[in-house]
Amino acid sequence: MALDIKKIRAQFPALHQEVNGFPLIYFDNAATTQKPKMVIDSIVNYYSTVNSNIHRGVHFLSQQATSQYEKAREAIRRFINAGTSEEIIITRGATESINLVASCLSRLLFNAGDEIIISAIEHHSNIVPWQMACEQSGAILKVIPVLDSGDLDMEAYKSLLSEKTKLVAITHISNVLGTVNPVKEMISQAHSKGALVFIDGAQAVSHMKVDVQALNVDFYCFSAHKMYGPTGVGVLYGKKKILEQMPPYQGGGEMIKEVKFEKSTYNDLPFKFEGGTPNIAGGIGLEACIRFMEGLGVDHIERYESSLLRYATEKLKSVEGVRILGESKRKSGSISFLMEGIHPFDAGTILDKLGIAIRTGHHCGQPIMDRYNISGTMRASFALYNTKEEIDTFIEALDKVKKIFI
């Protein structure tokens, strides 16, 4: 079944506006996606009808709010095929999910001389927490190199793995290069050495079907706002047996069973890791965006977006002076590129004057920029509501940029 893109676009209010007198073309989806009306309506409905704190109230509004919030947890479980809702921790986003695991494992697992492996194409959020964990525990950070193609050096990865490896933390899809890493293979190889694996799926869940049980991954995280949901809410999946061993991340309400001055006892999963009042409206909005994606079919979304990426790549290659960074055979979502003789910021500014939103800079991936000996790039990233006609207009706009600067 082909997606009806015109009908889909009609559901996104933000797309129907002009910027500087031009129809908005939004190609900054790797930073955040626009939101469909059903997500917006779900948040408005919560605040308009059942606004209340959850889990501890006996009154009607609290019970209704709790029901809607826990419905979101079950939707997340189903969406990524987790075994039980106890394995679904609702967080403030992928960044908090990573910090949660890094902090807890620093107290539980990591010791001086242990090794943590990350890759050279990670978002800063999947670098800095592990650096902090190493500083706290005395563990050593190892980095998988990236090849010119944008693919990870898998031979180097195999050589880095050892009995000292306690955890491997890698992105599913690079937010800069669009490279889709062979995570299932990498998980299996890490497990053969007894290491745990954390996958940052922030760039993956909006573009492809994710099955955490099929991957056999220990931890997986993502953010709602990159998959048509609200900001300030995300997900941490963890295998139940591992989460049960981990100490709490933060202390406060909800994460306790009993509090006494002598000693407090902690709540069961998943609430042990959900201290304080959560982003209730955000969780309800996350359920709505999952419902939106499942209604269209994630497989259909993936096929359509893959066709957009191929089309945009071919068109960009036809523009003289354009250099694409990372040309892995397995890509999704994003294209980072440079234009000879034109600074990315300058090009991005001109494109904005023409109503086209792209991202410029290092994209929270400074080590990637260092690897290619550049300071930043332009990045066009696509979503299910984008069209080939928009890509054609984008390519025409790049020609206008060239005429201004060259």
pLDDT in tens, the chain (406 residues): 689 999 999 999 999 999 999 999 999 999 999 999 999 999 999 999 999 999 989 999 999 999 999 999 999 999 999 999 999 999 999 999 999 999 999 999 999 999 999 999 999 999 999 999 999 999 999 999 999 999 999 999 999 999 999 999 999 999 999 999 999 999 999 999 999 999 999 999 999 999 999 999 999 999 999 999 999 999 999 999 999 999 999 999 999 999 999 999 999 999 999 999 999 999 999 999 999 999 999 999 999 999 999 999 999 999 999 999 999 999 999 999 999 999 999 999 999 999 999 999 999 999 999 999 999 999 999 999 999 999 999 999 999 999 998 7
The reply to whether 203 and 338 lie within a common domain is: no
Domain count, the chain: 2
* DSSP helix/strand/coil, 51: coil
- The pair of three-digit structure tokens given for residue 317, joined into one six-digit string: 């290659």
Domain co-membership, 305 together with 168: no
DSSP string, 55-81: SS--SHHHHHHHHHHHHHHHHHHHHHT
The range of the structural domain enclosing residue 217 comes to: 40-295
In a domain, 35, yes or no: no
Q: Which amino acid is at 7?
A: K
Tell me whether residue 171 is in a domain: yes
Residue 180: per-residue pLDDT: 98
Task: Look at residues 278, 295, 312 and tell me which one is the last residue of a structural domain.
Answer: 295
Look up the CATH number of the domain holding residue 377: 3.90.1150.10
DSSP string, 272-310: GG--S---HHHHHHHHHHHHHHHHH-HHHHHHHHHHHHH
Residue 279 lies in a domain: yes
Residue 154 belongs to a domain: yes
pLDDT at 56: 84
> What is the pLDDT, as a whole number, of residue 248?
95
- Say if 378 falls within a structural domain: yes
User: Is 240 a member of any domain?
Assistant: yes
Considering only CA atoms, which of 342, 391, 363, 304 is closest in space to residue 5? 304
Q: Are residues 133 and 261 in the same domain?
A: yes
Helix (H) or strand (E) segment spanning residue 37: helix 37-45
How high is the pLDDT of residue 1? 67
CATH of the domain at 155: 3.40.640.10
| Residue type present at position 321 | G
Q: Are 281 and 350 in a shared domain?
A: no
Active-site residues, by number, are 364
What is the token pair recorded at 61? 């509004």
Amino acid residing at 10: A
Give yes or no: residues 266 and 401 share one domain: no
Point out the domain boundary residue: 295, 323, 358.
295
Same domain, 271 and 214: yes
Q: What angle do CA 306, 173, 193 make, to 5 degrees?
A: 135
**In terms of C-beta distances under 8 Å and separation of at least 24 residues, what long-range contacts does 74-79 make, across chains too?**
75/286, 75/287, 75/290, 75/291, 76/235, 76/286, 76/287, 76/290, 79/205, 79/210, 79/290, 79/293, 79/294
pLDDT score at 2: 87
Instruction: Specify the DSSP element, H or E, that contains 380.
Output: strand 377-381
Which residues lie closer than 8 Å to 345 by C-beta, 6 or more apart?
A: 360, 361, 376
Please indicate, yes or no, whether residues 386 and 254 belong to a single structural domain of this protein. no
Annotate 14-31 with DSSP letters as a single string. Answer: GGS-EETTEE-EE-BTTT
Shared-domain flag, residues 94 and 180: yes
Q: Is residue 34 situated within a structural domain? A: no
Are 253 and 354 found together in one domain?
Answer: no
Q: Do both 264 and 347 map to the same domain?
A: no
- The CA-based dihedral angle spanning residues 295, 296, 300, 305, taken in that order and rounded to the nearest 10 degrees: -130
- Same structural domain, 242 and 178: yes
pLDDT in the model for residue 170: 98
Could you write out the DSSP letters of every residue in 201-245? -TTTTTTS---HHHHT-SEEEEEGGGGTS-SS-EEEEE-HHHHHH
Q: Are residues 20 and 64 in the same domain?
A: no
Residues 87 and 90: their CA atoms lie apart, in Å, by: 10
